[in-house]
Amino acid sequence: MERIETRGVEYAGFWLRFVAYIIDYAILQILNFVVVIPVLGLLGLGIFTSFDGFNPDMVSEEESIAVFVAFISAISSIALLTLALQALYYAFMQSSSRQATVGKLALSLKVTDMEGGRIDFGKALLRELCKILSSAIFLIGYLMAGFTDKKQALHDIIPGTLVVKG
């Protein structure tokens, strides 16, 4: 049984949430750049290295394959680490006392449970993992926020969360 008081609650719609996402995305990309570029450099995969003097004829096919596999492994590991850190950022911020990421704070939005209370870290992390499902179905899970009564996306409906103004 739903106990949320609907009077006075203003749900955040698709476009407000989208702008908050853009703000968070920009912040996370700057942080990624600050962290990932040095890590790539430590792995010997710096973007500023020069290919002058590289002669592919002097490298065996086996060595080329090994370098390619090492490169793909490093990039994949960094991508997985980046995704994990981003999920933790969102979950930590949304379960904090502010109940919002930096982007949501900038627009005076917060994430609540169905009764308007603060969500715990587990529910916030579940919400983030459900974004994979929202994305996997051609972003329809995100677009649902524009069409549901409480402006919930799929990743809000599954864990039972709301994004509200205030």
Q: What is the pLDDT of residues 101-144, one digit of tens each?
A: 999 999 999 999 999 999 999 999 999 999 999 999 999 999 99
**pLDDT, position 162:** 98
Predicted confidence (pLDDT) at residue 8 exceeds the cutoff of 90: no
Question: Does 81 map to a domain?
Answer: yes
Question: Does 53 map to a domain?
Answer: no
Question: Does 52 map to a domain?
Answer: no
Predicted confidence (pLDDT) at residue 49 exceeds the cutoff of 70: no
Residue with tokens 């980046």: 82
CB 151 within 8 A of CB 163: yes
Q: With bands split at pLDDT 50, 70 and 90, how would you rate the model's confidence at 1?
A: very low
Number of domains in the chain: 1
Question: Does 8 map to a domain?
Answer: no
Question: Does 110 map to a domain?
Answer: yes
**pLDDT, position 130:** 97
Please say whether the dihedral angle defined by the alpha carbons of residues 109, 111, 114 and 117, taken in this order, is positive or negative. negative
61-94 and 14-42 helices cross at what angle (nearest 10)? 140
Q: With bands split at pLDDT 50, 70 and 90, how would you rate the model's confidence at 60?
A: confident
CB 14 within 8 A of CB 146: yes
Higher-confidence position of 133 and 8: 133
Question: Does 4 map to a domain?
Answer: no
Question: Does 2 map to a domain?
Answer: no
Domain hosting 24: range is 14-47+58-165
Predicted confidence (pLDDT) at residue 3 exceeds the cutoff of 50: no
- Residues 119 and 92: their CA atoms lie apart, in Å, by 10
Question: Does 97 map to a domain?
Answer: yes
